[in-house]
């Protein structure tokens, strides 16, 4: 009863933007398809949803992209001491900072999510806000992006006894996306000349419907196998107020994974090897991009270290779980290169989650 | 009975200890492996699966067209954007302006090499004989363009200065003149290395942007539909009033062309010692204005 009251109270508190992607996933290189944690059901494998009891999850995550570049660029120092610099020094300092954002990357993102599940059925609402940056040097431009996603999961569990079971989960979802055009020096010039912000800044919006199907097979001795059919969805378009269109398509992918884990005394261990998008592998580079590995080492129920490898890039993370509050931190890499491998960006992220 | 139960207990604890040891060692090895990757932020070289030639050191560089990615490949799509019928040499195509996609790729690649400490050796890689001789043939052509475009741009600035009654002094104009001279100097007459080639490419890109602006200002029509030769451009007759009208109507386009050109040059130039970049230009401009003020 107390749990139910707590949930109702928390839902009332979260009329604000809801939550989203668990940082533990990033820390483990997103190798969580077989991990027995309902927190990953809405983001990775619908078959992971709680089939016997009740689960509630409310994470809020903040990600800072290009973290090392930003720290090295001495951004704070430049801001604090800008009044003491002469014009030339200030201009070159700003230029040095802008040069870090070559290509198209995120600058900062916020994710929020609210999900609960009970006996194989779950609902989730998540939202995200992103500040994207593109260009580099003088042409650096900013754009904004927000999205809201609603998902539900229906899962069936077949128990074969002796630690063996098969779960199948279906997750239809709808995502509303809105993004602005880029705001650059050219846009500013245009705005100054026309004195009309609308002519310089366009907003595109649209809705994407998708279906994910996930399965999880558990066998004795702690082994499990997962197969997820992701983004069974047609391409979709975002349309601006002037009728301009941006097309997107999420390639259908088949993700597979094998995992092993167990608990011994106060130590718990989880290891997973996976291949993402096996249907899209064409060459060695695709294979590298597809491969991911993740492991978690839990020390007591309060403390967990995670590490992973995804598409060639490493990740590490730390989780502290104090009763119903989880604090996660992660450091990972994401590649934004035109040719894969050319433009990796490191991300420093922190998440606070209420999890039951 | 008690003894055997005790042995069973010890055996159980021993097995548990071995399991814990395996987990501990596996975790430790994985963490070591991952931390060894963080330095370079990728594991291509560790697992040797990335066989793209762009990631391997080269003894000599050959200019190729229509390749998926080659530092020195030039976009075949750049057709008629600004065509100057300059009776170019036979292999004129190798010195076309880079497309936006090519520029972005080049900037990413230069940054990648700089980050992994391989930029210097790559810049000093020698061009292969064929590329070297082709490039040599076109340097005179590029230097000629810079001379002519420089003269033409200066004549426009003199006109603007007249309209605004001495907006630019002769000293100011000398700065522009020096800029074109230094641009010409970067086009080394006997290019040997990738760095020499890049200097030519960047100078050509810079000059193409100047030409593009001249197009916008003088012709007042989208440059992609214009195809003219230098002689007819020089004989074009326009009034200063016409000029100003076109400039004010094309401000956004001109800013856009300038920003794109300067950005491209800066993003590459700032990585390469001895290349011109915005930082140097900013220092010069502020130094000039301070001297003028004093």
Partner-chain contact B50 A284, CB within 8 Å: yes
For the cut 50, the answer to whether the pLDDT of residue B80 exceeds it is: no
Name the residue among B100, B63, B72, B93 with its Cα closest to residue B199: B72
The pLDDT value recorded for residue A343 is 83
For the cut 50, the answer to whether the pLDDT of residue B122 exceeds it is: yes
- B20: Cα within 13 Å, side-chain hemisphere: 12
What SS3 string covers A140-152? CEEEEEEEEEEEE
Name the residue among A183, A164, A148, A136 with its Cα closest to residue A19: A148
The pLDDT value recorded for residue A150 is 94
**Which residues in chain A (113-172) have CB-CB distances under 8 A to chain B?**
135-139
Q: CA of B284: which chain A residue's CA is closest? A: A88
The pLDDT value recorded for residue B241 is 61
**Which residues in chain B (112-141) have CB-CB distances under 8 A to chain A?**
112
For the cut 60, the answer to whether the pLDDT of residue B44 exceeds it is: no
Mean per-residue pLDDT for B261-274?
85
Partner-chain contact B42 A308, CB within 8 Å: no
Partner-chain contact A92 B279, CB within 8 Å: yes
pLDDT < 50 positions in chain A: 1-20
**Which residues in chain A (267-296) have CB-CB distances under 8 A to chain B?**
267, 269, 271, 284-285, 287-288, 293, 295
For the cut 50, the answer to whether the pLDDT of residue B256 exceeds it is: yes
How many angstroms separate the Cα of B212 from the Cα of each of A78, A139, A185, B218?
36, 18, 19, 10
- Please state the ipTM of this predicted complex: 0.77
Q: Do the Cβ atoms of B146 and B207 come closer than 8 Å?
A: yes
Partner-chain contact A138 B112, CB within 8 Å: no
Partner-chain contact B107 A103, CB within 8 Å: yes
Q: What is the rounded distance in angstroms from the CA atom of residue A158 to the CA atom of residue A120?
A: 12
The pLDDT value recorded for residue B55 is 39
Mean per-residue pLDDT for B32-37?
61
Q: What is the rounded distance in angstroms from the CA atom of residue A116 to the CA atom of residue A55?
A: 5
Higher pLDDT, A95 or B116: A95
The pLDDT value recorded for residue A212 is 93
Q: How far apart are the first and last CA of chain B?
A: 104
Rank A133-147, B4-18, B54-68 by mean pLDDT and report only the highest. Answer: A133-147
Q: Token digits for A44? A: 């990775």
What SS3 string covers B122-140? HHCCEECHHHHHHHHHHHH
Mean per-residue pLDDT for B34-46?
55
The pLDDT value recorded for residue B284 is 75
The pLDDT value recorded for residue A242 is 83
Q: Which helix (H) or strand (E) holds B171?
A: helix B170-186
Partner-chain contact A309 B104, CB within 8 Å: no
The pLDDT value recorded for residue A101 is 84
Partner-chain contact A309 B259, CB within 8 Å: no
Q: CA of B44: which chain A residue's CA is closest? A: A312
Distance from CA of A289 to the nearest CA of B (A): 11
Q: How confident is the model over B164-221, as pLDDT tens digits?
A: 666 677 777 887 788 788 778 878 888 888 888 888 777 777 777 777 776 666 555 4
Distance from CA of B143 to the nearest CA of A (A): 27
Residues 6+ apart with CB under 8 A from B100: B260
Mean per-residue pLDDT for B93-122?
73
Query: In which band, very low, low, confident or very high, does the pLDDT at B75 lie, cut at 50, 70 and 90?
Result: very low
Q: What is the rounded distance in angstroms from the CA atom of residue A91 to the CA atom of residue A123?
A: 50
- Tell whether B109 is within 8 A of chain A (Cβ): yes
Partner-chain contact A314 B283, CB within 8 Å: no
The pLDDT value recorded for residue B35 is 60
Mean per-residue pLDDT for B8-26?
71
The pLDDT value recorded for residue A151 is 93
The pLDDT value recorded for residue B201 is 76
- Global confidence as pTM: 0.76
């Amino acid at each position: 009863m107390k749990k139910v009251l707590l949930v109702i109270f928390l839902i009332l508190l979260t009329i604000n933007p809801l939550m989203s992607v668990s940082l533990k996933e990033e820390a483990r290189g997103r190798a969580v398809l077989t991990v027995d944690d309902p927190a990953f059901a809405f983001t990775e494998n619908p078959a992971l949803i709680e089939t016997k009891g009740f689960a509630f999850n409310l994470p809020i995550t903040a990600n800072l992209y290009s973290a090392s570049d930003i720290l090295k660029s001495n951004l704070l120092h430049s801001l604090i001491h800008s009044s003491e610099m002469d014009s030339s020094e200030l201009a070159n300092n700003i230029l040095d900072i802008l040069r870090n954002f070559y290509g198209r990357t995120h600058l900062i993102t916020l994710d929020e999510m609210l999900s609960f599940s009970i006996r194989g059925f779950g609902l989730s609402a998540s939202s995200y806000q992103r500040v994207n940056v593109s260009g580099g040097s003088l042409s650096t431009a900013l754009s904004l992006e927000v999205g809201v996603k609603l998902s539900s999961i229906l899962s069936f569990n077949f128990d074969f006894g002796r630690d063996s079971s098969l779960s199948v989960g279906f997750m239809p979802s709808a995502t509303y996306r809105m993004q602005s055009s880029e705001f650059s020096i050219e846009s500013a010039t245009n705005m100054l000349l026309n004195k009309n912000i609308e002519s310089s800044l366009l907003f595109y919006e649209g809705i994407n419907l998708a279906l994910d199907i996930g399965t999880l097979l558990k066998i004795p001795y702690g082994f499990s196998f997962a197969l997820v059919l992701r983004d069974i969805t047609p391409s979709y378009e975002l349309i601006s107020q002037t009728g301009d269109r941006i097309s997107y398509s999420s390639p259908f992918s088949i993700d597979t994974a094998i995992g092993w884990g167990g608990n011994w005394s106060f130590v718990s261990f989880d290891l997973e090897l996976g291949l993402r998008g096996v249907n899209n592998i064409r060459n060695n580079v695709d294979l590298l991009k597809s491969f991911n590995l993740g492991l978690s080492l839990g020390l007591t129920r309060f403390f967990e270290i995670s590490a992973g490898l995804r598409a060639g890039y490493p990740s590490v993370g730390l989780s502290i779980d104090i009763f119903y509050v989880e604090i996660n931190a992660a450091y990972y890499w994401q590649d934004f290169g035109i040719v894969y491998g050319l433009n990796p960006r490191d991300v420093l992220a922190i998440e606070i989650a209420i999890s039951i | 009975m008690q003894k055997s139960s005790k042995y069973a207990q010890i055996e159980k604890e021993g097995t548990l200890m071995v399991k814990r040891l395996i987990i501990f060692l596996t975790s430790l090895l994985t963490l070591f492996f991952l931390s060894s990757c963080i330095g370079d932020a990728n594991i291509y070289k560790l697992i040797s699966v990335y066989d793209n030639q762009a990631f391997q050191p080269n003894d000599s560089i050959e200019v190729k067209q229509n390749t998926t990615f080659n530092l020195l490949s030039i976009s075949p799509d750049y057709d008629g954007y600004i065509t100057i019928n300059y009776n170019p040499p036979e292999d004129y195509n190798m010195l076309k302006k880079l497309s936006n996609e090519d520029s972005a790729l080049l900037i990413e690649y230069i940054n990648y090499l700089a980050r992994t400490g391989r930029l210097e050796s790559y810049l000093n890689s020698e061009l292969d004989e064929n590329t070297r001789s082709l490039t040599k043939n076109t340097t005179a052509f590029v230097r000629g363009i810079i001379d002519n475009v420089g003269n033409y741009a200066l004549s426009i600035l003199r006109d603007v200065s007249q309209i605004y009654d001495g907006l630019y002094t002769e000293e100011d104009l000398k700065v522009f003149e020096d800029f074109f001279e230094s641009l010409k100097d970067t086009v080394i007459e006997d290019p040997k290395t990738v760095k020499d080639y890049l200097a030519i490419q960047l100078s050509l890109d810079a000059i193409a942007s100047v030409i593009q602006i001249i197009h916008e200002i003088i012709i007042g029509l989208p440059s992609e539909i214009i195809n003219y030769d230098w002689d007819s451009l020089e004989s074009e007759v326009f009034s200063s009033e016409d000029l100003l009208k076109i400039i004010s109507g094309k401000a956004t386009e001109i800013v856009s062309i300038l920003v794109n050109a300067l950005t491209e040059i800066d993003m590459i130039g700032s990585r390469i010692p001895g290349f011109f970049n915005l930082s140097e230009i900013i220092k010069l401009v502020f130094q000039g204005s301070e001297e003028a003020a004093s």
